[in-house]
Structure 1
Amino acid sequence: MKDSTLKDLFSKALLTYRHFGYEQPDTNSRKLMLISSFQDEVDGNPFHFPLGAYHQFEQMAEIKLKFISATPSFIKMKIIKGTDPQKTVYFKHKQIDVSKDL
């Protein structure tokens, strides 16, 4: 599987969506970011996610996410944000369509 951006991975997302990025591969771990179709969950980052809240992929211009690996439950991605050290974020696997073509 080749490297892919988050935009590529979510390209088949439904019009209504809510994707949390977790600190660990566990939904009880700290939520680092949100990608949501719900404007009130995104505008001004009301839940104060450390890596932000985004409505559209175009808003993620300052962040690049690269696919690292997948397990049956989670997708592991590396966050590249400016000159900040790279961080890792996990998305629930069932929320993302990962095909061998990526």
Structure 2
Amino acid sequence: MRNSICISTFTLLIFACGQTNQKTDKLEKSGQTISTGSKTQTAQSTETITKLDSIEKENNNSIVDSKDSITKAFVFLKDGDSTIYLIANIKKDHRIFGYASPDVKSERLLLLSVFTNDVENNPFGCRLGAYYDTNGMNELTLKYNSTTGNFIKATAIDKANNSTTIFIEKKWIEFE
């Protein structure tokens, strides 16, 4: 009886020692290091990074696959109103970021997206929020200012009349 317990314990240890933590391996292979005081926080951070990366890839691919079936935001300049509008159409995709500077690698301040995983709980941490369309932005209004290269310069104005300058890729905006 004692021998069978020892053999079972020994076998269990051999199999357990041969396993590795896959999340740690992924983090090490990606070259990313996140130093925190706890392994649990590191695993959660890695999981969040991986989740955001997969959301980013999946939704970008969907936009690319949609080709011309994309909803764009629009501005009515001839009426003297420079408000930027975007009305979501569930049959067409849209995913528009507002950046801190005219560079897609700069801080993302705002997101307008048809994808629930982009909007729900603001996973990208956009300071001005993540919305399905401009109708859902009860606290914000977007105003077109000018065009800067491949970007438009706009102002996001909140209910307290505080303004934030944002830049949106010009390809996502139509002018009328």
**What TM-score comes out, normalization by structure 2 length?**
0.50
* SS at structure 2 position matched to 1:97: strand
Moved over 4 A (4+): none
Alignment match, 1:50: 127
Deviation at 1:78, TM superposition (A): 0.7
Larger strand percent: 1
**Counterpart contact for 1:20–1:32, Cα < 8 Å:** yes
- The reply on whether 1:5 has 2:88 as its aligned counterpart is no
Q: 1:44-74 CA deviation, whole Å, 9 max, x = no partner?
A: 1122110000013221121011110013401
Q: Which runs of 5+ in 1 are unaligned?
A: none
Deviation at 1:75, TM superposition (A): 0.6
Decide which of 33, 36, 44 is 2:113's aligned counterpart.
36
Larger helix percent: 2
Higher relative contact order (CA 8 A, sep 6+): 1
**Larger Cα Rg: Structure 1 or Structure 2?**
2
Alignment match, 2:44: none
Deviation at 1:84, TM superposition (A): 5.3
RMSD of aligned C-alpha atoms?
A: 2.1
Q: Which runs of 5+ in 2 are unaligned?
A: 1-76
Deviation at 1:27, TM superposition (A): 1.0
**Counterpart contact for 1:22–1:33, Cα < 8 Å:** yes
